Structures are given as structure tokens and as C-alpha cells.
A and B are shown apart, each in its own frame.
Chain A
Amino acid sequence: MAKFLIVDDSNSIRQMVSFTLKSAGFDVVEASDGVEGLEKAKGDQFDLVISDVNMPNMNGIELCQELRKLPPFEFTPILMLTTESSGDMKMRGKAAGATGWLVKPFNPEKLLATIKRVVR
């Protein structure tokens, strides 16, 4: 069963993403900021990481950079959850090593359809 790591400081977003993914049969681990996310990542194997960009303590971009430094996460798909669809965001994400992005507002169906591009 595929295992995902969800990192977001917003309770409601985290719950919704979790719920959607679990309903689809995925295993989900949650973290509320980048630091916690990194900790959880180090302790486990994940098929996908979905992270918000704006978080306290360590934001999504930083998290992505840190994850890419860890061997197990070299090829792991990392998606940024963001409300900005500007080109700027894309550039920053890619520079940090992100695989792609998901734009909020959050649409469960679209989320599931989109993550197909990086997981089975």
C-alpha cells in the first residue's frame, strides 16, 4: 500500500487531504510543519510527499531541499501545495527539487487524478 506524507500547518487542509487519500486506499502520515515533516520522513519510507509552502519553523521549499538531501528521497515525488499558480512559484519549487505542485483550493477528485502522475 502506498504511503504518503502530508505536511501542512492548517488542520483542516491536512485533515481533508488525509481523508481523501485514505478514502482512496492510501496510507497517510501527517506533520504540521517542515521540521516535523522532516523528522517523520527520516523515520520512514514514503511514496509521495505533499507539502504546503507557507508553514512556520520550516516552510515547504526548505523541506523539499532538505528531503532531497536524504538518499531515500532522491527520487521521491514531492508536491507543493500552494494557492499561487504564478511562474515564480514554479521556479522556486523546481529549484528546490520539487516534482510538481497542486493548486489550492483543494479538490479531492482533482487531487486523486493529479497524483496519478507520480504514484500508482
Chain B
Amino acid sequence: MTVLNVNGKQHEVNADPRTPLLYVLRNDLALNAAKFGCGLGQCGACTVLVDHNPVFSCVTPIAALEGRYIRTVEDLGSADKPGPVQRAFIEEQAAQCGYCIPGMMMRAQALLEKNAAPSDAQIREAMAPNLCRCGTQMRILRAVHRAAKLMTVELQGTEAKG
């Protein structure tokens, strides 16, 4: 039995501890945002956050994750109430087929939590591990810039209310 903290909830998972997190998310916990792309840590479609770092969930066994803080796209917002990164990707229409987008959003989220106003070069460097075969990279780049602005506005709005 492995206990995983996913999006702030504790889950008792009955799976082989060698199982990569991606399969537990999708098959056991029905969190289907993270995608299977290559299964080899090469493409980034399965990217989730572990303790605020972007990781490839397809090559991260759950044995490594007890007591750590896992986040997926489901934590960023919902279809009704999309979070700032999701809103930015929708507003920039950054998806073509959309398969890589959950991983892209998680990597963008990790970047923006460390750097609220990244430069073009910093975004390109941070996003480089995640691949998009449709060719929407320029829209993704714009979406990350837009998400940075939306997050700043949201943060300032919250502070003003508080």
C-alpha cells in the first residue's frame, strides 16, 4: 500500500511500488489530464509537479513519492473555473491536437511559480523538454507570457481584497 498526496488529497494506492506514477494517476485515481506519450521520459506529455518541480510521471515510480506533494492539471482549475495558466492557453488557442498541452501547462505552472515574469529566452529554456508535434510552440510561448500576466493580476487582486 502506497499513500500518495495528489492535489492536496491523500490516496491509498494498491499498486506495485515500481509502477510509474502516470499509470496510477490514470488507472487508479481517474486523473486523466497527464498523458502517455512515449513512456520513456522523452516527450513531456506526462509532466506533473512533485514538490513544485516538473517531472516525467511515466518514469517516476510511486515508491519515490510517499510524503511528497504531487499536482496535476486537475489542480490548476476546472472547465467551469479555469485557472490562469488554463485561461491563458485557451485565450491564445495554444492547442492544435492538444495532447501535449497538459504537460505544457504543468511545466509552465512550475516556471511561473519560480519566476513571475520570465523572458522569452527563459520560457524557451524552461519549456524545452516538452515536445509539440503540431507546431504550436509560438502560441504556447505567448500563452506562457499571458499566464504570467494573469497570475500577477490574480495575485494582486487577492492581496487587494485581503
| A, B bound | no
